[in-house]
Chains A and B, each alone.
Chain A
Amino acid sequence: MKHLLYIPAILLLLAACVPVIEDAFDASASERTAARQRELKATLTAAPNGWLVDYYPDKNAALGGYAMHIVFAADGQATVACEQETNLPAGDPFTSNYDILADQSVTLSFNTYNPVMHFFSEPAGSSDVDGLAGDYEFIHVETVDDRVEFIGKKWKQRVVMRRCAPTFDFDAYVASVNNMVETLSGYGMFALQTGANILGTATVVDRSFNLTYTSTSGQDATEVSVKLPYLITADGIRLNKPFVLEGNTIENFLWDEAAKQYTCADPGTNISAVPYFPPDYELQYEEILGRWAFQCTGYTGGVTYRDTVVFALKKKNASFTLTFPGLFPIVALDVSFNAAKGTIAIANQVILTTVDGNHLRLSLYNYTANSSYPAAGSYGLKGVWNHDEGGVRRMTLDNDGRQAATGIYGFLLRAYLPNTTTAATADTHPGITSGNYLGNTADYGTTNYRFYSCVLTKLND
């Protein structure tokens, strides 16, 4: 019986003779994570002039990118500004808290409300439950020299921070970005080309290139469409990640003011993004500015109406104001400009509020049905340049191919019941009175102002 006791005892002895296993790491997992947290905080706070941050909201970066400037203080506060207007004007900084957490990995979290940072993440209500779908928690990926890379925790967009030089001034940077935004806004399309060889064309939409090119990488050439989100820098644009276009890896473009084009700054490429006007391009913004002879039929009971109208700058490369001096000097329509196509468009709009609270509205008019479309909707009149006038710039107002469906090819000016808060006084808007119609019936008859078949001819001032 006693022998039986030896068996478990010896087994226990053997079991006790476990070879010593060396730890793979000198410290525990949590200690190593804590060390990385301290290291990241030391890195971020060791940039007294802050970091310039490439930030992309939305899981598909559909809105393009924005540059932020963040200064991290050792006491857990971060001062954040953005080159784009957020809840604060562009460039205005706001200080709130940050922390570096041990989460999925080492995570930088902006954990109290910052009207700049959280502008991109706060929900806009039940109609828009995730707002702009931007992150405010960022998983640390790597630190290389003066560059720290993160990935957004929820929406997975890459965030790159670059250490700012001691001389960096964010206000000046914002001004430079604004200049670049204005430069870029003048062009709706670019051709990506090597020398004179066009590899593809890209439409500019919301800080993205919608690039179409013919890929020759497979056995058969195939047409490829791809969206390349970018952010606007002080001297050009930067894609949100490198893209390989026919063997050329492109990411950074610099604006060449003399050549009026972007040049790819990445090594080993000689790609340029050259403003591109397709064969059916209509008119550039500057070509539309100024006075035009306006003529339409059907005006107030069928007579022809003529006026000299004026397209004036509202927002460069984006919109005009359009006035009819002969009719109402005070009435200015909003006219949008499509830089990609070189066209203007006029949509339903409230123009002003009348003395007694009614408001004057431009409504698209369905001549066939003799009815108007007071709702804003998607209807619009597009200006189409007649290319065959031998140097004469002439536009007709058309409903952009929707005429057959809607019958729209004109508009009317009409006063409606109040639903705006824009105030008007008799002093500022003489001649505009009440009723369901525009104007004083004694002066203008009993109908609305109807404008059909409108033609505009540019006056050479």
Chain B
Amino acid sequence: MKNILLYIVVALLAASCVEKGPRDESIFVDSETALDSVGQWLLENYTYPYNINVFYKLTDIEIDRSYEVAPAIPRKALAIAKVLKFMFYEAYAEVLGADFMRSHSQRVIQLIGSGAFTNLTVKKGSAESGMKIILYKINDLAPTSINQTLLSEWYLKTMFHEFSHILHQKKDYPTSFKLVTPSDYVGDEWTSDGNTLEIALQKGFISTYARAEPHEDFVEIIAFYVVKPDGWWEEQEALAGTEGTALLRAKLDIVKTYLRDVWALDLDLLRAVVQRRFSELEELHIEDLLK
């Protein structure tokens, strides 16, 4: 009898578990705005091959609201997207295969038309947690902008810089790097008037910003090494002097060894590919989009 009671209780319990399966439709409603030609190109050239969302429309939740900015002009956004694909994603893919970028690249790129200004500075780009990169001043691009100097300074250096952060955040570089110039990192003081480029070089830093802290130092070396033209590094060494050059080379050695051992990345090969692609860039006729 007791068992019968137990069965009844269990049966009631089971009956109380009314099935409430998923509804036919998702409660999340997709945007009804059809993709335009720029959106379609980005879908086919970034999202499908690399699993990256490139936002050329200004998406408020993706930006830093402390800045007042203006959206990008679509054809200029398309121009820079083509440059980045050719000079950055395909360069890495050429050296390490497309899977490498699918696995490790930032997931979101937000393109902004204006700069992000403070009273003293204007931002070229910013990154968040390896997930997103924001590039500014897209609307300032002109046909004459398609050259190594400007593209490197405004966009490509930022891309290589931020992507290198992702690499070392996933697998850290050896402590020995931080010990090359352990007492010359200055934090926020890197913007001070006393931190000139010449002084930074003489202390073994490739840029003034590299003095902020070791992570920035590490990725600045990669970014500058890859995007700057032949002879540029030697010019920096000349300014750095004997002592500075020795420190710079010690850091570069650690960087190269780390990339080779941890990521199977030959930095010199990547640099050669990027430099070759600069010379091929005109074949893309990107200037036509910037007129």
**A112→B71 contact, CB < 8 A:** yes
Dominant SS among interface residues on chain B:
loop
- A33's nearest neighbour on chain B, judged by CB, is B29
Given known A10-B9, A13-B16, contact A113–B139 (CB-CB < 8 A) = yes
Partner of B9 from A6, A118, A121 at Cβ < 8 Å: A6
Judging by beta carbons under 8 Å apart, are B27 and A112 in contact? no
Do A34 and B71 touch across chains, with their CB atoms under 8 A apart? Answer: no
B58 at the A/B interface (Cβ < 8 Å)? yes
Tell whether, in the assembled complex, residue B32 and residue A38 are in contact, meaning their CB atoms are under 8 Å apart: yes
Whether B68 and A131, one on each chain, are in contact in the complex, defined by CB atoms closer than 8 angstroms, is yes
The closest CB in chain B to the CB of A120 belongs to B70
A38 vs B29: C-alpha distance when bound (angstroms): 11
Q: Does A336 contact B (CB under 8 A)?
A: no
Is A251 in contact with chain B by the CB < 8 A criterion?
no
- Taking the nearest CB of chain B, how far is it from the CB of A345, in angstroms? 32
Question: Bound state CA distance, A332 and B238, in angstroms?
Answer: 57
Asked if A13 meets B71 with Cβ closer than 8 Å, knowing A113-B139, A126-B118, A154-B65, the reply is no
B60 pairs with A113, CB closer than 8 A: no
- CA–CA, A31 to B29, complex, Å? 7
User: Is A113 a contact of B13 with CB atoms below 8 Å?
Assistant: no
- Measured between beta carbons, the chain B residues less than 8 angstroms from A118 are 70-71, 113
List CB contacts (< 8 Å) of B231-280 with chain A.
Answer: none
CB distance from A112 to the nearest CB of B (A): 5
* B119-127, B159-167, B182-190: which lies at the interface: B119-127
Task: Verify if B114 is at the interface (C-beta below 8 Å from A).
Answer: yes
Residues of A within 8 A of B115 (CB): 123, 125
* Chain B positions within 8 Å of A75 at CB level: 34
B102-117 residues with Cβ-Cβ distance < 8 A to A are 113-117
Q: Is the CB of B27 within 8 A of A28?
A: yes
B29 touches A125 (CB 8 A): no
A126–B122 contact, CB under 8 A? yes
A111 touching B57 in the complex, CB below 8 Å, given contacts A16-B16, A129-B119 = yes
Give chain A residues whose Cβ lies under 8 Å from the Cβ of B13. 9, 12-13, 16
B-chain residues with CB within 8 Å of residue A389 when the two chains form the complex: none
Contact among B61, B72, B117 for A113, CB-based, below 8 A: B72
Contact A6 B5 (CB under 8 A): yes
CA distance A16 to B13 in the complex (A): 7
A13 to chain B: which residues have CB within 8 Å?
9, 12-13, 16
Find residues 1-44 in chain B having any chain A CB closer than 8 Å to their own CB: 2, 5-6, 9-10, 12-13, 16-17, 27-29, 31-34, 36
Contact A2 B67 (CB under 8 A): no
**B74: interface (CB < 8 Å):** yes
Chain B residues closer than 8 Å to A30, beta-carbon distance:
27-29
- A150 sits at the interface (CB 8 A): no
Q: Residue A17 at the B interface, CB < 8 A? A: yes
In this complex, how many residues of chain B approach chain A with their Cβ under 8 Å: the count is: 43
Q: Which of A30, A107, A123, A127 has the most CB of B within 10 A?
A: A123
Question: Complex Cα distance A111/B74, Å?
Answer: 10
| Contact A129–B71 (Cβ < 8 Å) | no
A321 on the B face (CB < 8 A): no
What residue in chain B is nearest A128 (Cβ atoms)?
B117
Q: Is the CB of B50 closer than 8 A to any CB of chain A?
A: no
Instruction: For the complex, give the distance between the alpha carbons of A412 and B118 in Å.
Output: 41
**In the bound complex, how far is the Cα of B248 from the Cα of A436, in angstroms?**
55
Q: By the criterion CB–CB under 8 Å, are B58 and A76 in contact?
A: no
> B60 and A112: CB pair below 8 A?
no
Tell me which residues across on chain B come within 8 A of A125, comparing CB atoms. 115, 117, 122
In the complex, chain B residues whose CB is within 8 Å of the CB of A9: 6, 9-10, 13
A137 in contact (CB, < 8 A) = yes
Q: Would you call B209 an interface residue if the criterion is a C-beta within 8 Å of the partner chain's C-beta atoms?
A: no
B223 at the interface (CB under 8 A from A): no
Give 3 nearest A-B pairs by CB, closest first.
A16-B16, A122-B70, A34-B29
List the interface of chain A (C-beta within 8 A of B).
2, 5-6, 9-10, 12-13, 16-17, 28, 30-31, 34, 37-38, 41, 75-76, 97, 99, 101, 103, 107, 109-114, 118, 121-123, 125-127, 129-131, 133, 136-137, 153-154
Instruction: Provide a sorted-by-A list of 11 A–B residue pairs whose CB atoms are within 8 angstroms.
Output: A9-B6, A9-B9, A16-B13, A17-B16, A28-B27, A109-B60, A110-B71, A118-B71, A126-B120, A129-B118, A153-B60
15 A-B pairs besides A17-B16, A111-B71, A123-B116 with CB distance below 8 A are A6-B5, A9-B6, A16-B12, A31-B27, A112-B71, A114-B71, A122-B113, A123-B67, A123-B69, A125-B117, A126-B117, A126-B121, A129-B118, A129-B119, A154-B65
